[in-house]
Amino acid sequence: MVTLSDIRGAQARLRGVALHTQLIECHIPQLASDDRRLFLKPENLQPIGAFKLRGAYNKIASLTPDERARGVITYSSGNHGQGVAYAARAMRAKAVVVMPSNIPAIKREATKALGAEIILVGPGSLERQQRAEELAERHGYAIIPPFNDEKIIAGQGTIGLEILEDLPNVETILVPVGGGGMISGIATAIKLSKPSVNLIGVEPELAADAQASFRAGKITESSADDATRTIADGLRSQSIGPINFEHIRKYVDDIITVSEVEIRQAVRLLAANPKTVAEPSGAVAAAGFLFHREQLPKARVHVAVISGGNIDPQMLEELIQPTTVQT
């Protein structure tokens, strides 16, 4: 299990690399008559446009010089690949990223621009992982998992430390859930520092394997076809990682789901402020706050993590049109 010391060690490694993103209080018309306060943690403002830099850098920085010299490989639906490419370039290591063929072009091109070698496979997350493992075995690359790894979890957990530093009176934190790396890290940091804070995971109802696992007490998997139905491409993992699930079961209070319509509405509302522009995956936590009040613990001070803002400009233009979010 990841410790608070592990997360503080990651924070030291990330100093000067990842931004300490400042909380932004959300002021939108929908909250005018609401006694609750919502602060946004804008990880979309990181150098790669997403939180994934934290875990990727912490993992690669923890490798031996010999391991880095052989190169690193990962499997990613987008943002983690950028994080690995960015961190590898900073440490002068070769990076190979296995990506799904249906990845948004903006994420593929951004990863390539950071110097990574891109290998495209089918849409399934398990297919990506298997190909990366085969190539690692063949070439001696060090694998940088997207979420199922304690160094990754510790890196993502630094988000939790920052939230407590900037908003000590926070009562509830909402976090997007894909493979579980971010929520397991944040939940660990928060619960080991201030156990009274509520930790709520949020995922698309079309890719609700994390909620199903949480409810059942064991990991359940979804098919590649099911996982790819949601617009939130960064949350299309087919299952939570075993290491992540161990932390989630111990530290997370609940996992709720949001609809595709709600995700689109959240993207549109967040786009009103240039500093909080979110890709669909990055908007799910805010959607959980905005549309599922009855499922949340009674609290006044909330934080929703915007996990990323790497959205295709054409998609953003379509989503901010009111006609695109009607049922």
Place of tokens 């296995």: 98
What averages of pLDDT result for each successive group of 10 residues across the chain (327 residues)? 98 98 92 90 97 98 97 93 97 96 89 96 88 97 97 98 98 97 98 98 95 96 84 90 98 98 96 96 98 97 97 92 54
| Cα 284 from Cα 135, distance rounded (Å) | 33
pLDDT of res. 249: 98
Residue-range domains of the chain with CATH: 4-50+149-325 (3.40.50.1100), 52-143 (3.40.50.1100)
Global pTM reads 0.95
pLDDT of res. 326: 43
Strand, coil or helix: what is 136?
helix
pLDDT of res. 258: 98
* Helices marked H in 45-144: 52-61, 65-70, 79-90, 105-113, 125-139
How far, in whole angstroms, is CA 311 from its chain's centroid?
Answer: 14
